[in-house]
């Protein structure tokens, strides 16, 4: 049932215009939006693989600019959730997320289905997200760190 609801939300997002549709950054390439300040992570193979995972799984809800859709899908760009709740962020990518959260003072209560990613893919996409747009994390997410995260 949740899969059907997720599909309906996905289909609506593709067909509906949001407030982001007037934002020229919402549909620009990821290259134009990746402005993190940690070049050693951005040059890593993990970051490059993470970008591919982001394009395959995350961009639909969180958009190319990482800004998400206010009230529906939380932003990843400048997200206090990523910086203050590292383990919870990894757990959400690894196992999905259900229930209310607050990101940058805005409340969200949409379900994020488990994406079926390997632990390596989780680490890679976390390294991409945590070092793209205005995000800058000096500590890369490791495979061991992801493996240690339980439901």
Residue-level pLDDT at 39: 74
Fold type of domain 2-147: Cytochrome Bc1 Complex; Chain D, domain 2 (1.10.760)
Q: Transcribe the chain into DSSP letters.
A: -HHHHHHHHHHHHHHS--GGGG-GGGGS-HHHH---S-HHHHTSHHHHHHHHHIIIIIHHHH-TTS--BTTTB---TT-HHHHH-HHHHHHHHHH-B-S-EEETTEEE---B------HHHHHHHHHHHTTSTT---SSPPPHHHHHT---
Tell me if the pTM is above 0.85. no
Residue-level pLDDT at 38: 60
- Those residues whose C-beta lies under 8 Å from the C-beta of residue 49, and which sit 6 or more positions away, are 120, 121, 124
Percent of the chain with pLDDT over 70: 75
Q: Which residues of the chain have pLDDT under 70?
A: 1-38
Percent of the chain with pLDDT over 90: 71
The whole-chain average pLDDT of the chain stands at: 83
Rounded-to-integer distance, Cα 29 and Cα 42, Å: 16
Rounded-to-integer distance, Cα 22 and Cα 35, Å: 22
Per-domain residue ranges of the chain: 2-147
Residue-wise pLDDT tens digits, 52-95: 999 999 999 999 999 999 999 999 999 999 999 999 999 999 99
CA angle (121, 124, 126) in 5-degree steps: 110
Residue 29 burial (CB count, 10 A): 8
């Amino acid at each position: 049932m949740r899969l059907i609801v997720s599909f309906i939300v996905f289909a609506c997002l593709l067909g509906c215009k949001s407030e982001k549709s007037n934002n020229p950054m919402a549909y620009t390439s990821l290259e134009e939006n990746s402005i993190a300040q940690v070049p050693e992570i951005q040059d890593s193979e993990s970051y490059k693989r993470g970008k591919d995972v982001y394009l395959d799984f995350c961009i639909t809800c969180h958009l190319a600019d990482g800004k998400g859709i206010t009230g529906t899908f939380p932003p990843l760009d400048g997200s206090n959730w990523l910086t203050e709740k590292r383990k919870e962020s990894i757990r959400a990518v690894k196992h999905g997320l259900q229930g209310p959260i607050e990101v940058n003072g805005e409340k969200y209560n949409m379900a994020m289905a488990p994406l079926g990613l390997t632990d390596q893919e989780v680490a890679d996409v976390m390294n991409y997200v945590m070092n793209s747009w205005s995000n800058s994390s000096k500590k890369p997410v490791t495979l061991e760190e992801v493996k240690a995260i339980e439901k």
